Amino acid sequence: GSICNWWADDGDDWYYFKDGKKYTGYGKDASGTKFFDNGKYASWWHDDGDDWYYFKDGEKYTGYGEDASGIKFFDNGKYASWWHDDGDDWYYFKDGEKFTGTAQDASGTHTFLNGKYNEDGYSDGQWYISGENKYLKDSDGNIRTGFVTDSDGNLYFASKFANGAIQKNFFAYYNGSGYIFGDDGIGVETDNPRSEFIKIIAPYVVSAVDGTGLFPSVAIAQACLETGFGSSTLGYPPVYNLFGIKAPSRAEEGSYVTVWTTEYYDGNKVDIKDKFKKFDNYTEAFRYYAGLFTRSKWLSEHYRYVLSARTPQEACRTLTGTYATDPNYKDKLLSIIDQYDLTEYDKEIYPNGEK
């Protein structure tokens, strides 16, 4: 007889043959195009030459199936990772399972619980999660604030100004050490905290003040002085106020925070509570600072000598009594500028570091 190229019974069972051999790969029979494994319709994970897929009855499978990882929902041979109708209802899947957590779909970022929107949030052990925000709970289930550690010993900052939400992508001090908090909110200790703080903010400051007539060295020194080199909670998210910028007396609720601050009146040091402006991010804070000195006709006149200063030293002198009430403001700024060689940043805008 001829070499078999179809289904045939070899005496043990029926198999699909090609060139006389039990076939593995894509082939076509009376049911259409199928993927075969050793002469049978494939029904497991297989590499079809392009990628690995989960097959059932010779086709890339869509629906619930079970593999070595357990029961999963598949979409065209892959673990489903989007909205799918599982036959009962539409659910949001990730890696083949109804998703619980925070993820983004076509309408934005949402909190999901078992594949459904759950904007009220959900608990996951020590964590409470709502939308993009995470909150660390204590043993009684209360939301913690301040610098907090989880059960793995990771350090986080849970801002009281954000109802305890874990903050991300900023610099802060904790127990005398400087930490960089990344995308995951976990703080990593740095060996040179003050220099690290300057290194982080300097590029943003240079970009913001370029073309304004201001000196980057002075702006960086102000941020260092106003926040204690990043140690003030005013500079942490979600406030982002690096320059001690006050809020208007009639500022809308939620656009400011109220904290204790030190002012000088007639040479006398006085501690008062005052409103400080909140920003959406550090970039907005830098840009606001850069435009502050010309934000109105009155401010342009008030800061005219700051804007016309030809050297950082002159700018620091004119900021004393205008920007800050501290009579030693100039000396404090110049000390920071000298100690950290900040005039090098001025040369990125002014060739000789002076106008």
For residue 141, is it within any domain?
Answer: no
At 129 the pLDDT is 87
Token pair recorded at residue 73: 């929902």
Residue 120 has pLDDT above 90, yes or no: no
**C-alpha closest to that of 129 among 111, 143, 115, 144:** 111
Q: Does residue 45 have a pLDDT over 90?
A: yes
User: For residue 123, what pLDDT is reported?
Assistant: 81
Tell me which of 130 and 157 has the higher pLDDT: 157
Assigned domain for 76 exists: no
* 124 pLDDT tier (thresholds 50, 70, 90): confident
Closest Cα to residue 334, out of 308, 353, 314? 314
Tell me: pLDDT of 112 over 90.
Answer: no
pLDDT band, very low/low/confident/very high, at 254 (cuts 50, 70, 90): confident
Residue 303: pLDDT above 90? yes
- The pLDDT assigned to 36 comes to 98
Say yes or no to pLDDT of 119 above 80.
no
Q: Rounded to a whole number, what is the distance in angstroms from the first to the last CA of the chain? A: 98
In a domain, 333, yes or no: yes
Q: What is the mean pLDDT of residues 195-224?
A: 95
Q: What is the mean pLDDT of residues 296-322?
A: 95
The answer to whether 190 touches 333, Cβ cutoff 8 Å, is no
Q: Given this model, what pLDDT does residue 314 score?
A: 97
d(CA 134, CA 121): 9
Residue with tokens 């659910």: 91
How far is the C-alpha of 114 from the C-alpha of 195, rounded, in Å? 46
Chain CA centroid to CA 85, Å: 31
DSSP 270: E
Structural domains of the chain, count: 2
DSSP 144: P
Name the phi and psi angles at 354, rounded to 5. -135, 160
Q: How large a percentage of the chain has pLDDT more than 70?
A: 100
Share above pLDDT 90 across residues of the chain, in percent, rounded to a whole number: 74
Q: Is 50 part of a structural domain of the chain?
A: yes
Residue 211's pLDDT is 94
Mean pLDDT of 265-277: 85
- Does residue 20 lie in a domain region? yes
Domain stop point among 28, 57, 86: 57
Q: Highest mean pLDDT: which of 40-54, 157-171, 239-253?
A: 40-54
* pLDDT, average across residues 184-208: 93
Q: What is the pLDDT of residue 261?
A: 82
For 151-179, what is each residue's pLDDT tens digit? 999 999 999 888 899 999 889 999 989 99
Asked which of 61-65, 188-192, 260-264 is least confident by mean pLDDT, the reply is 260-264
Q: 47 lies in a domain?
A: yes
Mean pLDDT of the region 253-260: 88
- Under DSSP, is residue 311 helix (H, G, I), strand (E, B) or coil? coil
The overall average pLDDT reported for the chain is 93
Average pLDDT rounded to a whole number, residues 180-184: 93
Where does a domain end: 57, 78, 104?
A: 57
293/305 Cα distance (integer angstroms): 10
Q: What is the CATH number of the domain that holds 300?
A: 1.10.530.10
- Examine the pLDDT at 20 and tell me if it is beyond 90: yes
Q: Which residue has the higher pLDDT, 16 or 273?
A: 16
Higher pLDDT among residues 124 and 320, named by residue = 320
Least-confidence region, from 40-49, 245-254, 337-346: 245-254
The domain boundary, picked from 57, 74, 104, lies at 57
301 belongs to a structural domain:
yes
Residue 328 is predicted with a pLDDT of 94
pLDDT at 266 over 80: no
pLDDT of residue 272: 84
**What pLDDT does residue 79 have?**
98
What is the C-alpha separation between 232 and 225, in angstroms, rounded? 10
Average pLDDT estimate for 44-61: 98
Structural domain span for residue 38: 1-57
> What local confidence, expressed as pLDDT, does residue 217 receive?
98
Domain-located, residue 74? no
pLDDT for the residue numbered 3: 93
User: What's the confidence (pLDDT) of residue 39?
Assistant: 98
Does position 310 have pLDDT exceeding 80, yes or no? Answer: yes
Residue 153: strand, helix, or coil: coil
